[in-house]
Amino acid sequence: MSLSIPRRLAVLALLALAPAFAGPAAAQERSITLASTTSTEQSGLFGHILPIFQRETGITVRVVAVGTGQALAIGAKGDADALLVHDRAGEDKFVAEGHGLDRRDVMVNDFVIVGPTADPAGIKGGRDATEALARIARAKAPFASRGDDSGTHRTELRLWKKAGVEARGLGSSYRELGQGMGPTLNAAAAMDAYTLTDRATWVSFRNRQTLEILVQGDPALFNPYGSILVNPAKNPQIRAADAKVWHEWLTSGRGRAAIASFKVGGEQLFFPAGTTPSQ
């Protein structure tokens, strides 16, 4: 059936208006990109807290999970709107150079040194991380390093330095893998090697084989995480308003409660800033 001219004009007018009606609905879709560490992703923390955040705010968070060094580089290029990382020296440098704004303490957990039950370096039960690494070096025991410029890797290198050991001078016993925490733990299990890991990834890790926690409790193993907003003055494409909503929520009472409620096997893995990790 053909339409009269007035009706045709009415249909055309409605079709012309359709994009205008669709526009606001599309504009309501809000999202940010968060560059963060593999530990927050692999432990399952984001799978727990991000749905809570999205329900409360309507904002979707797309996570790029990499080592802290890479996350800081991504932020400096403006390819993320916010960061959640764990290397305080690197975080402070990022802000000082003008790449980031309003760095805030978010949460803490701790690192542990794990290794084979046979423990050829004899470090089991110790609480001094630098002494443990010195013993591993003297024993020429295998050590699996992430080797990826992550927060964990940076902490490990600081501990070797404090122990007076040049890690790369250990020869074939020191393996730099260039991998995240999960793959590094898999390699350590296969090699019967020692490694440094954050506790959250360790608790979530299932392929332990003969690995167990051997050293824990040293204040040098304290592992704080910080949230940073990427500076929109340097990167105009940054979704600054929604990133700030995330930043504020993460450090609010609601965000802290969400972090504290994340558990694996009944064990709390991250502790809001100002609280102390259990051991």
Flag whether pLDDT at 238 surpasses 50: yes
What is the length of the chain?
Answer: 279
> Could you give the CA distance from residue 221 to residue 127 in angstroms, rounded to a whole number?
10
Confidence at residue 19, expressed as pLDDT on a 0 to 100 scale: 43
Contact 239, 81 (CB under 8 A): yes
> Could you give the CA distance from residue 229 to residue 58 in angstroms, rounded to a whole number?
19
Of the candidate CATH numbers 3.40.50.970, 3.40.190.10, 3.90.470.20, 3.80.10.10, the domain formed by 110-221 belongs to 3.40.190.10
The domain locations on the chain are 30-108+224-272, 110-221
Confidence at residue 277, expressed as pLDDT on a 0 to 100 scale: 61
Flag whether pLDDT at 9 surpasses 90: no
Considering only residues 273 and 2, tell me which one the structure prediction assigns the higher pLDDT: 273
Considering only residues 29 and 5, tell me which one the structure prediction assigns the higher pLDDT: 29
- Shared fold status for 30-108+224-272 and 110-221: yes
The predicted-structure confidence for 131-190, as pLDDT tens digits, reads as follows 999 999 999 999 999 999 999 999 999 999 999 999 999 999 999 999 989 999 999 999
Flag whether pLDDT at 225 surpasses 90: yes
Give the architecture (CATH level 2) of 30-108+224-272. 3-Layer(aba) Sandwich (3.40)
Flag whether pLDDT at 11 surpasses 60: no
